[in-house]
A and B are shown apart, each in its own frame.
Chain A
Amino acid sequence: MNFSVIIYVIGAVLRVEGALMLLPGAVGLIYGEREAWSFFAVGAAAFLAGAVMCLGRGKRGELFAKEGFVSVALSWLFISLFGCVPFVINRDIPRFIDAFFETVSGFTTTGSSILRDVEALSHASLFWRSFTHWIGGMGVLVFLLMLLPFVGGAGLHLLRAESPGPQVGKAVPKLRQNAFVLYVIYTAMTVAEIAILVCGKMPLFDAVTAAFGTAGTGGFAVRNTSIASYSPFCQYTITVFMILFGMNFNAYYFILMRRVRQAARIEELRWYLGVIAAAVLAIFINTRHIFATAEQAFRSAFFHVGSVITTTGFAIRDYNDYPQFSKVILLLLMFIGACAGSTGGGIKVSRVVVMVKSAFAELLRVVHPRIVKKVRLDGKAIEHETLRSINTFLISYIAIFIVSLLIVSVDDFGMMTNFSAVAATINNIGPGFDLVGPAGNYASFSDLSKLTFCFDMLAGRLEVIPMLVLLNPVTWSRAIRLHRRSRQGK
């Protein structure tokens, strides 16, 4: 294990975070809040810590897949640790565990909250809460890749470890340019959404934070009622943007390059939109009787399907009163998640599609024992390696899910609460059902459960593997052995 390079990467990430904390500080100044200083102070501390960690720059050395996974996992842990300190210092969220939960939830674009009264928070804290979504959505390290010149495959290892999806590839030959293109698209779409929301007569502060929440598919809102108090126009706008941010960003790149056909050929997109359409229709029919008008029923179905499948987690009403059928559909959508290469979480549409297809291929093998059947996506055969990694992902995912469910059930809440809480955190959605529904929050869980949720959120955002690499003794064994040997030598 090459520690110096890992420390260097973490240091660089912290410096970026320190710089980004100036923004909530500035917002605090605008509103004349004294909470602003907590952000300036912590930002300076993070920047200094990062600068110190980057001192050993000379012996940076090689970065391989293992170091890539470890540094990504540790970076996310560190930015969450630093990110939660302002909340504690400025007494907006006095308990450290709660603040940490809230920050992890922010960076992982989950949107689960332990706050009972969001509106009591200072503007600076609210802004920072939403801004963490925006930072976490496209990824801190992808941002870093844009700034730092990594040699050779080093950058790709970081990109692979951080970006969601079974096959992480580049759209352009140069990694740096790739990261740049992603952030340009990301920023442009965010700005577009802010502009449309402001046109829809939403206050600027609300528009900015809502856009951050949408862009990162996070789900923190600045009102206790989430998005419910805004106009239908704003709600439709947010729905559409949620769905747009849940799409594979390669599609936007292709469209930008005037290769619209190539974008239309992405099979995952068609499945994604198909699933959305089917779910909206089913829920609309199933819940029509609850609402006064068809438009309200449709808006609610459209909004919540978009919110849940993209793993955003905004709400325009407490959907706990939905019929069971609709609730189960939403629960299933939580697991499917958004497209690979988007800012959303969950298992990802492409993985689900590949798994369903390979299940059919296996069924065919029963009829024709010696059949050769390649599973295809986008008209190309899926490599065996990819299939294997999808299987590994799924099994680790289920294992983490089960263990988490077991730990959380110690708190003795109802099954729907526990199950949906774990599902909502590991899939980075935010609200679940019953106690953790849109109107509820995660405050009543024990600290152990909250830490479990934090782990689930990080595991979900980084797609399980980096967190497991971090926990696997094999990763560290050689480093420990080397350490021991050097001590014996002395």
Chain B
Amino acid sequence: MNIIIIGAGKTGATLAEDLCGEGHNVTVLDTDQERLSQIGDEYDVLCMVGDGLNNADLSEAGIEDADVFIAVTGSDEQNLLSCLFAGKNPRCATIARVRNPMFLKENAFIRDRIGLSMIINPEYAAASEIARLLRFPSAIEINTFAKGRLEQLTFRIPEGSVLDGKNLTYVRTKIEKNLLVCSVERGGEFFIPSGHFELRTGDKVSIVIEPRVAQRFFRHIGIDTHKVPTAMIVGGGMMTHYLAEQLLNHGVGVKIIESDRARCEELSEKFPSAIVINGDATDKKLLLEEGVKETGAFVAISGIDEENILLSLFVKEVSGAKTVTKVNRIAFDSVIAKLDLDSVVYPRSITAEYILQFVRAKQNAVGSNVENLYKLIEDKVEALEFKIREDAPLIGVPLSEMKLKDNVLICGISRARRIIIPGGGDTIRAGDSVIVVTSHKHLNDVSDILA
């Protein structure tokens, strides 16, 4: 497919890399020659100097033949406006990144009027993910499928848990039958496990489960399920705005530390019940004075990766708080994974996940659609949700008779209002949503899972 990306910032670069890796023809448009040449040197994409608002530049970038148009410049207004212009080509799907909280409530209206296919708000998405993590602090990662009726939870098996030394068949028959273990990470290696796989203390286990069952299950295996009572947030950016809003709505006490006075005043005005501290979070005394030892969660989401990581490591040392760390640069993720940080959030990869899932869904017009896509375990595994159409080839075949590729697992079926954690006897029907975990990349269609 022909894809045009406006804006060669960090997100633009990540998208160029991912989409190029999937085999699309990518053109990147930006006014900054230098940033463009960096992308051009690294990836096999076409780079053009030009303005996304200039019609001539858009024509030159090939808007007439484009299938997808993605606007990810720094300015919301520019993104929306250039999508409006790109709408001259009615066959082209347009995606705009819009981050301002002001626009959030009007999203549907804007999308309708400008004719956008999708609006992405990475800060909001990341904040929602963090809020989910803080509602269930024992999880390292939480992804939702089937409109939130099914969750994929990643957690570490604590010491002395009943799960230690048990195989998966035992877990499903004796502990909880409505759950499926979809991947396990142990000592840097990962597995998509079969029934005989034995769990051990310290394993990072990813399961698919219904939210209401999850409570019961975790209590049974000795993991705390209470939401954090208070959260200390470092950095007062857009993500903090969204996060504070969600946490306060769920009755979590919020304390924000931000060094910019004017921003503090804005936040204080917006969230009267939050405590907004004007100070430098790298000041250890300040952190201790503001009770970092007593806080339930510590969320480092300032603009500086190094600061976020360092602060989270410090907090892990002095208190038992759940820490969430935002990292912008994905390049060092293997190093970061080795550090003892609870949860790490990559807003950029959230953006990329959204756009990839859209592009893949658009790619295959028949059979099935990608509804959701998450990258797990340092991008080695993908979890996808497919919507099954009537003409899909695997309809009606029992799972035990399906010949699946290696490292492919069907871990959930959402049918009408029911959630099925599938066994060998279950079949897939038209209209179902199917959740698949796999180490194969670039799955576009549910039939790709067949060997």
Contact = CB atoms under 8 A, between A and B. Distances in A.
B269 A370 contact: no
Nearest to A367: B275
Interface string A360-397: 00001000111111101000110000000000000000
Contacts of A372: 261, 264-265, 267-268, 276-278
Given A370-B278, A370-B279, A376-B269, 7 more contacts: A369-B289, A372-B265, A373-B276, A374-B272, A376-B272, A381-B265, A381-B269
Contact of B277 (A371, A374, A376, A381): A371
Contact of B276 (A369, A371, A376, A380): A371
A372 B278 CA distance: 6
Contacts of B275: 364, 368, 371
Contacts of A373: 268, 276
B406 interface: no
Contacts of A371: 275-278
Nearest to B276: A372
Contacts of B265: 372, 374, 381
Q: What 6 A-B pairs have minimum CB-CB distances, sorted nearest first? A: A372-B264, A381-B269, A374-B268, A370-B279, A372-B276, A374-B269
A370 B268 contact: no
A364 B269 CA distance: 16
Interface of B: 261, 264-265, 267-269, 272, 275-279, 286, 289-290
A368 B290 contact: yes
Contact of A370 (B267, B272, B286): B286
Nearest to B267: A372
Nearest to A372: B264
B272 A368 contact: no
Contacts of A376: 269, 272
Most buried by B among A371, A372, A374, A381: A372
A380 B265 CA distance: 12
A381 B265 CA distance: 9
Nearest to A381: B269
A380 B269 contact: yes
Nearest to B257: A370
Contacts of B267: 372
A364 to B, nearest CB: 8
Interface string A311-337: 000000000000000000000000000
9 contacts: A370-B278, A371-B275, A371-B278, A372-B261, A373-B268, A373-B276, A376-B272, A381-B265, A381-B269
Contacts of A368: 275, 277, 290
Contacts of B279: 370
Contacts of A380: 269
Interface residues of A, number: 11
Nearest to B256: A372
A374 B275 CA distance: 10
Nearest to A357: B272
Nearest to A380: B269
B230 to A, nearest CB: 13
A189 to B, nearest CB: 34
Contacts of B289: 369
A380 B268 CA distance: 10
Contacts of B269: 374, 376, 380-381
Contacts of B276: 371-373
A369 B264 CA distance: 14
A372 B261 CA distance: 8
A267 B77 CA distance: 34
Contacts of B278: 370-372
Nearest to A369: B289
Nearest to B258: A372
A374 B267 CA distance: 9
Nearest to A370: B279
B375 to A, nearest CB: 38
Interface in A297-352: none
A348 B197 CA distance: 73
B333 to A, nearest CB: 34
A41 B269 CA distance: 58
A370 B265 CA distance: 12
Contacts of A381: 265, 268-269
Contacts of A369: 289
B241 to A, nearest CB: 15
A369 B261 CA distance: 14
B290 to A, nearest CB: 7
Nearest to A382: B269
Contacts of B264: 372
A101 to B, nearest CB: 46
B254 to A, nearest CB: 13
B109 to A, nearest CB: 21
A353 to B, nearest CB: 14
A429 to B, nearest CB: 34
A373 B266 CA distance: 10
Contacts of B272: 374, 376
A308 B169 CA distance: 78
- In this complex, the member of A373, A376, A381 whose beta carbon has the largest number of chain B beta carbons within 10 angstroms is A373
A374 B276 CA distance: 10
A336 B272 CA distance: 25
Nearest to A361: B268
A380 B269 CA distance: 7
A368 B265 CA distance: 15
A364 B276 CA distance: 11
A449 to B, nearest CB: 46
Contacts of A370: 277-279, 286
Nearest to B263: A372
A368 B291 CA distance: 10
A216 B230 CA distance: 51
Nearest to B236: A372
A376 B266 CA distance: 12
B237 to A, nearest CB: 16
Nearest to B286: A370
B400 to A, nearest CB: 60
A76 to B, nearest CB: 37
A374 B261 CA distance: 12
Interface in A75-127: none
A446 to B, nearest CB: 51
B344 to A, nearest CB: 28
A368 B290 CA distance: 7
A1 B286 CA distance: 52
A374 B263 CA distance: 12
Most buried by B among A364, A369, A370: A370
A372 B264 CA distance: 6
A44 B265 CA distance: 57
Nearest to A379: B272
A454 B207 CA distance: 80
Nearest to B271: A374
Contacts of B261: 372
Nearest to B291: A368
B252 to A, nearest CB: 18
A139 B288 CA distance: 56
Nearest to A364: B275
A370 to B, nearest CB: 4
Contacts of A374: 265, 268-269, 272
A268 B373 CA distance: 50
A381 B272 CA distance: 9
A421 B276 CA distance: 45
Nearest to B264: A372
Nearest to B262: A372
Nearest to B268: A374
A376 B289 CA distance: 26
B236 to A, nearest CB: 10
A395 to B, nearest CB: 25
